Copies of this chain bind each other. A is one copy, B any other.
């Protein structure tokens, strides 16, 4: 670890904790003021670190925090992307310490957003500071663009990017919003799944009914919703929506073998999340199920009486949030339409079904033969002492596809999280090791990238 990091790590951590204390939950309007406070805080820290022209760019939603350091037009430009908004923290009761009162325990930072993505964004802020103060300045042009709506679909970012192509001109996009295989085995994500997310509502009777007086003679919307959801998978756990797999890229036997070379043990996987047995689409390994196959998961379901004790009610309405992870060459629009049509079609005539699509995102595969990928791989090899493995992760960073389309730029996914960080879950955390290793690795990326660009 560099001397600069050793000398300043306490301050780096306390600044991050201060930022994590602001509950910047973008999905819930009641946190709107906090989202704005989190943006202000970031702006201040970017200025402090030496970024110039730092501003809050207004959007129809939450502002985008932008800053830049342009040293020489003949040098390449790296555009750093991240997000300062976080997932909702509920269920709060499952957190061992409150999600917005960050604590460091066992060398881990516990807070909502600790890893996803405030902790990883803050590595860039501090890596920039390090380059400015201890390495004679950044070795190329840097632009930083941190948005506040990633967890709700980044819809305003796309508009912003489209309207600011000149301002955002760069050679590559650098993103830390993914993970590594383990602290002993660095890796770089090269494939990300897309997303199609829906809320569905099933209405039976026009009011809640007594299950004794009506039960048996009315369509219970919960039973029917369950039946509809159950029908979306067949006995092999394949998704039954007609046309769903039509555009799924089929990997060759060699590509699959390559993919399965990633260190993985089903036993360890089961143990790590307390599973009694492996589960998923037949004919695929766990690594393939996560990396190259599309999925359909219910993310939430509710209806009827959910309080203590027993209430003999037949609800008027039942609801679910249903999302599909997409792989190349599915598109979010195509799958959203297929889902909506299918879900409405399978409803029995006695109920009314409403499908409301939320945000989507496109699946993407990033190149492993680019200058930027090699610069990132070499940086990780330097700081971890081990060559990174390219992996195909399951999460969606929809904006990677959008950057490619709108700006023509590839992204490098230089993330430092671990699968065990519990992002989107209670007790989200981020290793202090990972946070500091990120700050150490990022400047190597810049140096490698500039050097390779020159040659």
Contacts and interface: CB of A to CB of B under 8 A. Distances in A.
A220 to B, nearest CB: 5
Nearest to A423: B210
B305 A206 contact: no
Contacts of A29: 308
A273 B304 contact: no
Contact of A211 (B94, B227, B297): B297
Contact of A216 (B289, B319, B352): B289
Contacts of A309: 26-28, 88, 152, 358
B325 A211 contact: yes
Contacts of A215: 193, 290, 295, 297, 325, 394
Interface stretch (A47-55, A76-84, A343-351): A343-351
Interface residues of A, number: 103
Contacts of A153: 310
Given A204-B275, A214-B273, A214-B394, A311 B290 contact: no
Contact of A27 (B28, B214, B307, B351): B307
A355 to B, nearest CB: 14
B310 A306 contact: no
Contacts of A348: 277, 279
Contacts of A396: 212, 312
A207 B426 contact: yes
Given A193-B212, A209-B424, A233-B227, A313 B300 contact: yes
B312 A349 contact: no
A221 to B, nearest CB: 9
A387 interface: no
A243 interface: no
A209 B359 CA distance: 20
A312 B305 contact: no
Contacts of A310: 27, 151-153, 197, 199, 299, 321, 323, 358-359
Interface string A253-294: 000000000000000010001111111110000100110011
Contacts of A62: none
Nearest to A271: B206
A214 B290 contact: yes
A23 interface: no
A358 B312 CA distance: 11
A413 interface: no
B425 A209 contact: yes
A87 interface: yes
Contact of A28 (B88, B222, B308): B308
A319 B28 CA distance: 24
15 contacts: A27-B307, A152-B309, A206-B274, A207-B273, A208-B425, A208-B426, A211-B299, A212-B396, A216-B281, A216-B325, A220-B297, A223-B298, A275-B350, A299-B311, A299-B313
